[in-house]
Structure 1
Amino acid sequence: MKLASLKSGRDGRLIVVSRDLSRAVEVSNIAHTMQQALDNWQQTEPRLQNIYQQLNEQQSLGFEFDQQACHSPLPRAYHWADGSAYVNHVELVRKARGAQMPDSFWHDPLIYQGGSDTFLAPTQDIQIPELDWGVDFEAEIAIIVDDVMLGCSTKDAGQHIKLICLVNDVSLRNLIPGELAKGFGFYQSKPSSAFSPVAVTPDELHTHWQDSKVHLPLSVHFNNELYGQPNAGVDMTFDFSQLLSHAAKSRPLAAGTIIGSGTVSNKDRSVGSCCIAEQRMLETIEHGKPISSFMRYGDNIRIEMFDHQQNSIFGQINQNLHPVE
């Protein structure tokens, strides 16, 4: 099943989207918003699935789906936590600055809680007042869950994963070192993220969803040139069940909680990168200094995932960087 939120008020208006992303149906009689559907998922999911089946079978049903009319699936969320599941990416960051990586990073997930009150729409401009802050994109996968109990085990966590989407987790790289040096984590260096227009249920990915991982390439185009297409199921040290269990170790998680994978990264460097920082790390290792610059005003970032028939699964994150007006 595929779901999206039309731009409407603060929390959007829930719609069901056809498999080919061509048509959609409003479902306010079932749930007005994505959050409302997730709060009552056991009751709403079968009814939404029924609409989805009808939509795919009846070409005359509904209206034309317009990605431009969509907000992020959850325009705001109670909880957004981002992991760093591709540890080879972390290792590369530290190697570039000559730092050793603690062995614990390979068996104890990294995760931080980010701002979730002002997500960007998937085609909304990124507005940053200072280029000196080092604006970077980060292409990721994310899951959305129903209510998760305190201390949920990795074994049980998978059953709580209800939706999957893509993320552009915007980062301000030149602000990060100063914040981390304080020993209190990210804040100013992590502005609003944007999510794909469509969120899908795990069964929609068929065999590409295995072991709580998405086994498909994530396509990143920067200024209309392919920047990277690493496979999200390869080199993912911690799967989503592990990240979810880690997040729930000391607290319950409310329905609508979003957990991100962190920047998708493969050890095979021929597939490119999902963020500029990784490319700069590789340049530093090879040349002694970074060559690539961070984003400039007017730059465009496009993030998308395709099935083996080259059909877009989640729709497209397509954003331009602009100064604050």
Structure 2
Amino acid sequence: MKLARWTNLDGTVSEGFVIEDSTVTFPDGATVTSVLELGIEGARHLFDRVQSAPRTLLSQVRLLAPLPPSSVRDFVAFEEHVEGVSAGVEGTSNVPAEWYQAPTFYFTNPHTISGTGAVIRPPVSDRLDFELELAVVIGGGPSAPESNLDVDQSASVIFGYCIMNDWSARDLQAREMQVRLGPAKGKDFGMTLGPWIVTADELAPHLDNEGFLAVRAEAYVNGDLVGEDLVSNMGWPFPELVAYASRNSRVVAGDVLGSGTVGNGGCLGELWGRNGGLTPPPLQPGDSVRLVIEGVGEIQNTVGEPVSAPPIPMARPRTRQRWT
């Protein structure tokens, strides 16, 4: 099953299933959010009910991000990506020992998410980049666990998958990381999810004997292939990422968890580190970025003109008196 949200020709927004080359609206006013809360079995019941319902061709709608996430966590689960990016930042490839000890993630902004086909309006940046990732979407269902999940429980709450592009302004990000906090403004201006949510059962045949998804991921800039990898090259399979996220916390239906950037050119920043310079060049207005993941689909976005923001003053000198 594939779940999606879209804008119709008359400007209204609909939510439902994608079946072959068409869309069909959920019955009873259901939304992607409410279907995620039902879990896969609940979604399958709705899917059976719409088989004879009216359909609209995909060519007659504009796909949106497939859900408004409850939260977005983004991991850094590919060792090769860490090696390449660190070469650009530190001058030599380095994977910290701490990376191997546990999967690391950051939270990002769920309010600046777009769908495939959208024009991305970045901040002013000399090093605009994309990031090719696969994300899991958490579902619910009767008695779905939320906290301190083990790996089997985590696998049971993975509703499905979508492609993630974690757009990045590397120059802004580099300054923030010097303060040992973030990334923030280098990332939170935009993220693309899509083209739809593919339920976990559809990708189950691609799981290897360790639970990794052996699907191909490809990144194209202006039609040129710049990166390709297997998602199974992650350091941890997705259920282990979900389990870690739930430790002394909660994961709920509608949460999105990204894999982090795949290796072997999953972003320009990795290639800059390996090539010793800005080759290929940073993204510019008018550039097209297309990300493809086997079994899921593809998303495509065009880079728009950057958006200037009001300046921020420097920190004030520490000259004020202490309270006495």
- After TM superposition, is the score higher than 0.5? yes
Distance 2:256 2:56 in 1: 29
Deviation (angstroms), 1:102: 2.3
1:79 and 2:67 matched: no
The reply on whether 1:141 has 2:134 as its aligned counterpart is yes
- Say yes or no: does 1:297 pair with 2:285: yes
**Residue deviations 1:194-217, cap 9 Å, x none?**
112211111112411344433111
Per the alignment, in what secondary structure is the counterpart of residue 162 of structure 2? Answer: strand
In 1, the alpha carbon distance for the partners of 2:86 and 2:291 equals 26
Aligned residues: 296
What is the match of residue 108 of structure 1? 102
Aligned to 2:316: none
Shift of 1:150: 1.4
SS in 1 for 2:203: helix
Cα deviation per residue 1:95-137 (whole Å; 9 max; x = unaligned)? 44236432221131110001012211211011124132x1101
Show the 5 A alignment for 1:236-255.
236-255=234-253
Task: Decide which moves more: 201-210 or 274-283.
Answer: 201-210
**After the TM superposition, which segments of 4 or more aligned residues of structure 1 sit over 3 Å from their partners?**
209-213
| Residue equivalent to 1:314 | 296
Contact 1:93/1:278 (8 A) holds in 2: yes
Q: CA RMSD in A?
A: 2.3
Q: Please give the alpha-carbon distance, in whole angstroms, between the structure 1 residues aligned to 2:223 and 2:61.
A: 18
Partner of 2:184: 187
Contact 2:84 2:273 in 1 (8 A): yes
Indicate conservation of the 8 Å contact 1:25/1:63, yes or no.
yes
| Distance in 1, Cα, partners of 2:43 & 2:289 | 33
Partner of 2:115: 121
> Offset of 1:68 from its aligned partner?
5.3
Distance 2:61 2:163 in 1: 16
Give the secondary-structure state (helix, strand or coil) at the position aligned to 1:215.
coil
Query: What residue in structure 2 maps to residue 16 of structure 1?
Result: 17
Cα displacement (A) at 1:291: 3.1
What residue is the counterpart of 2:317 in the other structure? none
| Cross-structure match for 1:213 | 212
Amino acid at match of 2:3: L
Contact 1:116-1:192 at 8 Å conserved across structures: no
Residue 269 of structure 1: aligned partner: none
Residue 272 (structure 2) pairs with residue 274 (structure 1):
no
| Contact map agreement 1:131 1:295 (CA 8 A) in 2 | no
Instruction: Tell whether 2:82 aligns with 1:90.
Output: yes
2:221 is matched with which residue? 222
CA–CA separation in structure 1 for the residues paired with 2:286 and 2:22: 31
> What secondary structure sits across from 2:230 in the alignment?
coil
Of 88-97 and 140-149, the range deviating more from structure 2: 88-97
Runs of 5+ consecutive residues of structure 2 not aligned to the other structure: 308-324
Deviation at 1:265, TM superposition (A): 1.3
Describe the shift of the 1:12–1:43 C-alpha distance in structure 2 as closer, same or farther (beyond 3 A). farther
| Cα distance in 2 for residues equivalent to 1:224 and 1:121 | 19
1 CA distance for matches of 2:206 and 2:113? Answer: 27
CA distance in 1, matches of 2:66, 2:152: 27
CA distance in 2, matches of 1:175, 1:129: 9
> Which residue is 2:168 aligned to?
171
Q: CA deviation at 1:27?
A: 1.0
Q: Secondary structure at the match of 1:229?
A: strand
Give the structure-2-normalised TM-score: 0.84
Alpha-carbon distance between aligned partners in 1 of 2:268 and 2:215, rounded to the nearest angstrom:
21
* Partners of 2:231 and 2:60 in 1: CA distance: 23
Q: Deviations over 1:71-117 (max 9, x none)?
A: 0111x221000001102211232244236432221131110001012
Instruction: Decide whether aligned partners of structure 1 residues 69 and 212 sit closer, same or farther in structure 2, where only a CA change above 3 A counts.
Output: farther
Following superposition, the deviation at residue 51 of structure 1 comes to 4.3
Q: Is the radius of gyration larger for structure 1 or structure 2?
A: 2
